Each structure stands twice: as structure tokens, then as C-alpha cells.
Amino acid sequence: MNVISNNGNGELLKQQHTNGNGLTANGEANGISNGVSNGVAANTAAGYICRQNVINFNPGPSKIDDSVLLKAQSELLSYQQLGLGVMEMSHRSTEFLSIVNGAQQDIRELLDVPDNYKILFLQGGATGQFSSIAMNLMDLKESQSADYFVTGTWSNKAVKEAAKYGTVNVVHPKLDKFTQIPDKSEWNLNPNASYVYYCDNETVDGVEFPFIPDTGDVPLVADMSSNILSRPFDVTKFGAIIAGAQKNIGCAGVTIAIIRDDLLGKSMKICPSVLDYGVQAGMNSLYNTPPAYSIYLMGLVLKWIKGCGGAVAMSKRNLTKSQLLYSTIAQSNEFYWSVFHTTVIIIDDCRYFI
């Protein structure tokens, strides 16, 4: 099965193998000893052939378009002819600052993020943000309480972390199984809560919100690790959005946090500086050494998404994939079946090709 998108990548790869990455036909890299480089071209070609027959349905890091990986490969040894790669350069350098600013601007354009939101590049994954969210936002109100939707494994972990820093209220009756979104008539939102938290798409359990919860004046916080940029959405409905990059927009290592300005600088005294959104925003995500290469690769994926047509184009791809999957299930004579309500499920990863 050919899973590589039909966008000219095959021809690009052919060019890269012959004259685009400094490799000669016998695998010798220009200016690098044979002991390091012998067989590189052959291994790359073999790897490309293997990729054509693989669709990655694993719940963790997912496939990245070949054109992105080839671009990264071409700049691995020398980024923009600097003589060193991104993973070697100073994170205080002009070149790396340009990478950070470029990725931020691309996210702002792709998601139409208003100017009164900061875009941060952090570490620790969305799991690390379970604590960060609470330590940064729990003190927004004197109640030091937060409302949580618990609709799957990840939001269940998040609520346990938040309980270490304040009072948490699960806004709906406890679910016996994570197979659907609780009906709005069952919600019990606290108007005095500091924030409301939910996981937009639960990868382990397979449930996704088909709408954005209305929380009134209480800031809404969403974990969008597995469906960020899979479709357009209104950022202004959120106080904060967190997302690990590895599912849709890059490789493991960098976590995005989009935080509204009025929520910055309200962290608990016990919040470590490296987890403090106000501190990180003030330092443009460079308070400490960031996951430099992960940010760089994410920037390449963001440019690829823009080239494909942005979040609208990703949404169309995902609808096609979803229809293909569910039609296969429906036509399998119950060999396959879904235990979920299909109205709340979309196949979200924008880098699985059909």
C-alpha cells in the first residue's frame, strides 16, 4: 500500500539521492570520511521504500511527510550553510531565534491566534502541563478550585495532578466507560471556578468533543495534543491551549502552550520558574535551553501544513480518512465494530496518508 502523499515527494527523493544532500552514488559523503558515510545513500533509499508500505496507527509519535524529513536531512550537518546543525547551535543565536519566531508566526497564522495570546514552546509534554496548568491558573480566583471534564485516560490523569494544588470538581457524573461525552444537561459548572479543563480528543479511549464547551466567563483550558491543527477552531473561546507536538505537528520533545495575556503572571508561589507561563513568555520560551531540534522540525511541519492549504485542508483530509475507516467497519459484516458513538470521533492525525 502506498501511503506517501501524491505531491511529488518521490521525485524529490530521487533528486536528493543523486545531488541534493552531498551524497555520491556509492554512499560517500562529500568532505566526510568513508568510515562514517559508506552506505548512507543505500540505507536512505531502502528506508524510503519501506516507508511506502507503512501506515502508522500507533497512538504516540506519528509519521512525518517525506518532504519534511528530506529537508531536515539536508540541513542536518549544516543549517543554511552555517557549518553546524540546529542541534549544535546556541539557543541564544540569531539563527535559532529566527527559527523560534518563525514557528510562532506560522502557528499564529494557521490558527488565527490573536495578538493578546502568547505562544510558548515548552518541555515535559502535555503530561507535564497537567501540573503547570494548575500551578499557573488555580490562583486566578480566591476559591482555588477548577472544573474538570473527565472523559478518558488523559483527563483522568490531569484531574489527579490538579488536585495536588487546589480543589477540583468533576462537572458530570462519573462515567463507567469512556465511550461518549456527557450530555450538557448533566454538567454542573462552577461559575466561581478558576478555570475549566478538558481533553479535546482522548487518544487512549477514542472519544473526541465535537464542540467547544461553553464555560461563560470562566477561562476554558484544552489539551489538544492529538488534534491540534487537524481542523480550524476559534482560539478566542479558550484561555489556554496545550499540545504535545508529536501527534500532528512535529516530533516528540516540544510542547505548545497558547496562553491568553490576562492569565499570565498569576502563578502559585510554589510554581517552578521553568513551568511559569509568565516567566517563559517574558523570555520568549528561552528561559532555559529549549528542545531546539524539536522546535526546528515542528517549524518545518508547520510550513508543510501551510503549503497543503492549512487547517481547512487538514480537515478535509481527515474527513476522507474518517469516512474510509468507518465505511470499512460498516462493511465488515461485524468483523470490526466500534463501541463508540461515531458522532464524537474523528481520525485526527493530519499526517496519516491514504
Active site residue 223: yes
| From 200, 205, 223, 276, active-site residue | 223
Q: How far is residue 2's CA from residue 10's CA, in Å, rounded to a whole number?
A: 11
Q: Compute CA distances 322 → 243, 256, 315, 340, whole Å.
A: 22, 26, 10, 14
Catalytic residue, chosen from 65, 154, 200, 348, is 154
Residue 154 annotated as catalytic: yes
Please confirm, yes or no, whether 187 is among the known catalytic residues. no
Q: Which of 118, 141, 247, 321 is catalytic?
A: 247
Distance CA 63, CA 277 (A): 30
CA-closest candidate to residue 73, choices 16, 151, 145: 16
Q: Return the active site residues.
A: 154, 223, 247
